[in-house]
Homo-oligomer: A and B are copies of this chain.
Amino acid sequence: MTPEQVQASPEPAQATLTFRHLFGPGPSNCYPEAIAAMAYPVLGHLDPLFIQRLDRTCEGLRKVWGTANARTLPLSATGSGGMEAAFVNMVAEGDVAVIAVNGLFGERMCEIARRCGATVVRVDHEWGQPVDPERVLAAHPHPKVIAAVHAETSTGVLSDIAELGRDKGDALLLVDAVTSIGGLELLADEWGIDLGYAGTQKCLGVPPGLSPFTVSEQAFERRIRDPRSWYLDIGLLGGYMGAATGSRTYHHTAPVTMIAGLEAALNRILAEGLDRVQARHREAASALQSGLQDLGLELFAAEGHRLPSLTTVKVPDGVNSGAVRRYLLEHFSIEIGSGAGSFAASIWRIGTMGPNANAGSVKLVLGALEEALAKA
């Protein structure tokens, strides 16, 4: 390249550099360490230095998953890709999947399991309520898989996974931890999770694009051989993505830069201490939830089951949900989320995740929301 060519690149539009406070359901703002690491020199995906980075990343993921599973790795897809990987590797024609549905992501599990050919037994719950382990466990005598969402992003509800794990019998327990990993207590081994997927763009404070994934020995043994997906086949990924099988074979080119960001965020979280990070999320959400009620607003998620990462609140009668969100965006560069599904216009979702789980973020969003409610 000549100097002229190097200078040929246009300046980014001013808009490109606008900072947003990302208080929606995700992506959240990222830990600065993650962003910085994505500017590290790019490594080849088979470089010994990258393999070491990948090993360190998998080790960090084991800690936030609460697992010793050898097969714990960052899948090269977003959280929804992780959901697909979980089902495509576990169920095929004739397999029964019992799926707890208490929000959009339980719904999505049913759709993906159906496309995998599974016989889906759905156990519906009112949105805003936690999963009822008894009903889920009683839904079928011998399912291959029982699936549930730990932290429902669409409703802001936390469900008890341990109880499902305790009484799952021969079933494999498949769990969505997208909005819990890295910010909430998550004990995959202790709770009996056999297969879990998550996302990077919530409490982990990393941009979206990877799905932290973990598979127990038992689940790996009972996986679908020759599954419909080649890209997400954990039988092929094991060799590349971890030390699990002892050999490294080329499967696909790993997203090396995203993984550098994930490693750095995990280091940041583990250096702060998982307990302290979890406490920070709890304290921020608790302050936010109190503050919202002080503003006269009503919380959506059932009391006692509210997420410490994402708070749902009802839009007051007579208030235009979209107008408030636009006001926040235009006056404060704050993003909060609308509701999902049939609650799109009647609830807001406010995330305080990753670096945003702090007292200042709570003050900011509460103060801005108070003004927006008065003026929007």
Query: Chain A: residues with CB nearer than 8 A to chain B?
Result: 1, 5, 8-10, 12, 15-20, 22, 24, 26-27, 29-30, 33, 35-49, 52-53, 76-81, 83-84, 88, 108, 111-112, 115-116, 199, 201, 207-209, 226-231, 250-258, 260-261, 264, 267-268, 271-273, 276, 280, 329, 335, 340, 355, 358
Contact = CB atoms under 8 A, between A and B. Distances in A.
A81 B15 CA distance: 31
B255 A78 contact: yes
A129 B102 CA distance: 55
Contacts of A280: 1
**List of 7 A-B pairs having minimum Cβ-Cβ separation, nearest first:** A209-B255, A207-B257, A80-B252, A8-B271, A19-B41, A84-B231, A9-B268
A229 B9 CA distance: 38
A251 to B, nearest CB: 8
Residue of A5, A251, A329 with most partner-chain B CB within 10 A: A5
A1 B358 CA distance: 6
Contact of A41 (B18, B36, B84): B18
B1 A253 contact: no
Contacts of A358: 1
18 contacts: A9-B271, A12-B264, A15-B49, A17-B40, A22-B42, A22-B44, A24-B46, A35-B42, A36-B39, A79-B252, A80-B230, A80-B231, A112-B230, A201-B253, A208-B253, A208-B255, A228-B228, A229-B229
Chain A interface, >50% SS class: loop
A22 B253 CA distance: 14
Contact of A27 (B42, B80, B231, B273): B42
A253 B178 CA distance: 12
B27 A44 contact: yes
Contacts of A1: 272, 280, 355, 358
Contacts of A355: 1
A355 B329 CA distance: 37
A115 B229 contact: yes
